[in-house]
Structure 1
Amino acid sequence: MDFYPYKFYNLHTKIIVFRWVRWEHFLENMFLEKRILSDKEKMFFLSLSEKRKREFLGIRYALRYIGMKMNIFYNEKRKPFLFSEGKYISLSHSFEKIAIAISSYHIGIDIEKLRHKIVKIKKKFLREDESIFINPNYEEDYLHIIWGIKESLYKLEGGIFYSFLDHYKVSPFCLKKDSCISCWIIKKTYSKKYSAFYRKIEEHYLVYIIDK
């Protein structure tokens, strides 16, 4: 595990991005044999696929690496949560990158590697009123940011609203550093507005939304 040079700290929120070096066997032995995991965490870990096990271990090693000894638990929708009073957590993985957000507020985070594949699936998440403001010269960048925003909203809401077309909306924006983007969770009776932030980190886009 290498500490990646991106972090965002303020009084209420910490966001860290790590580069994952796959030391699966070393980490699994360390966490299981040294009883670093609680019994509930161990049972959850053993139920995961090999890919999810790597992510599970990477997140916990990253937290210990920065000195945060927190037990992470999961609800029935496998949304992570902390027993620490007044603290919320959101996690994301993409290839070798792991993103962790811990906040005093509800928070959603997503990290995605920039790939052409997203153009092929845009009909699954891109609304017609969102497609009109995309600069075709930077289509992949816009699509990754929009996807990241909707994924972050989905996590923020706890996975209740599943349709990226019907339940989430992104307002028009332009590509620029430290941009704040308005976005919405659309419910039957009302809609709620949020502000999303993004950063490009090498070939990845990091997006996060804090519900203050």
Structure 2
Amino acid sequence: MPLYKTITPNSQTTVKIWKITESYEALMQPITLRDESMKRVLGMKSDLHQRGFLSVRHLLAEFGYTDADLFYDCNGKPHLKDGKYISITHSFTFAGVIVSDIEVGIDIEKQREKIGVIAHKFIGYEFDYLVDTAWDYINKLTIIWCIKESLYKLFSTPGMLFREHFLVIPFMITDENTVAWIDYEDRKYRYNSHYFEFEGFTCAYVIS
């Protein structure tokens, strides 16, 4: 079973990362899906998306949950029936789940040059400390994207914009943590943000 990494940032929170190496059939065999989930996975056109969906169910099992313990609200935010907080992500050949007693968000992204093309769409304040000629520019952009995506998943409020409402405080890649803020409707929310890199991917998670 390719459980790739387990992180316990505090006594209330656990992160688990899955490396997706199995076939669709191998991932499907040991799990039970609700009818709704089965319909969803069968409707996916991409084999990689199907395997990502199923690997998340395997991660749920690592936490002691089943597909039946997971449900989504009207904004698409996942919840667990026992009241714990959960956030889910998958990108290409990796999937991740964070479970906590406090609100959390997680994101995994593959590090790709093309993120530089869309940087202006999600970067505002951060341009003040980013230098586009730096060797680690793409990696830092990916970290910022992952943090902001994690914030969006945690807050889950329609109308929020990465560029205008999310702020990531200056950091060095080796720090592996920074502070992020949500500035929305005249209120400010502070979050501890953590990140790490592996096999050409970046993972970030935020904790309230």
TM-score by length of 1: 0.85
Structure 2 partner of 1:115: 112
> Is 2:15–2:97's contact at 8 Å kept on the other side of the alignment?
yes
Structure 1 partner of 2:141: 143
Paired AA for residue 18 in structure 1: W
How far 1:58 sits from its partner (Å)?
Answer: 1.3
In the alignment, which of 130, 133, 142 is matched to residue 129 of structure 2? Answer: 133
Q: Identify the range of structure 1 (87-96 vs 183-192) with the bigger mean alpha-carbon deviation.
A: 183-192
CA shift in 2, pair 1:3/1:28, >3 Å: closer
CA distance in 2, matches of 1:22, 1:72: 23
Q: Is 1:38 matched with 2:34?
A: yes
CA distance in 2, matches of 1:141, 1:19: 20
How far 1:67 sits from its partner (Å)?
Answer: 5.5
Structure 2 partner of 1:17: 17
Unaligned runs of 5+ in 2: none
Q: Is 1:53 matched with 2:32?
A: no
CA distance in 1, matches of 2:43, 2:190: 37
Structure 2 partner of 1:72: 70
SS in 1 for 2:6: strand
Which residues of 2 match residues 160-199 of structure 1 at below 5 A?
A: 160-179=158-177, 181-199=178-196
- CA RMSD between the two structures: 2.0
Unaligned runs of 5+ in 1: none
CA shift in 2, pair 1:165/1:95, >3 Å: same
> Is 1:154–1:160's contact at 8 Å kept on the other side of the alignment?
no
SS in 2 for 1:134: coil
TM-score by length of 2: 0.87
CA distance in 2, matches of 1:172, 1:29: 45
CA distance in 2, matches of 1:55, 1:121: 25
> Is 1:161–1:167's contact at 8 Å kept on the other side of the alignment?
no
CA shift in 2, pair 1:141/1:97, >3 Å: same
CA shift in 2, pair 1:137/1:67, >3 Å: closer
Percent identity over the alignment? 31
> Is 2:59–2:96's contact at 8 Å kept on the other side of the alignment?
no
CA offset digits 1:59-102 (Å, max 9, x no partner): 112332x26223211112221111013x1111111111111101
CA shift in 2, pair 1:28/1:3, >3 Å: closer
Number of residue equivalences: 202
CA distance in 2, matches of 1:176, 1:191: 27
CA offset digits 1:82-126 (Å, max 9, x no partner): 1013x1111111111111101111100011111111111111101
CA shift in 2, pair 1:206/1:107, >3 Å: same
In the alignment, which of 60, 79, 85 is matched to residue 63 of structure 1? Answer: 60
Paired AA for residue 21 in structure 2: V
How far 1:168 sits from its partner (Å)?
Answer: 0.9
How far 1:191 sits from its partner (Å)?
Answer: 1.6
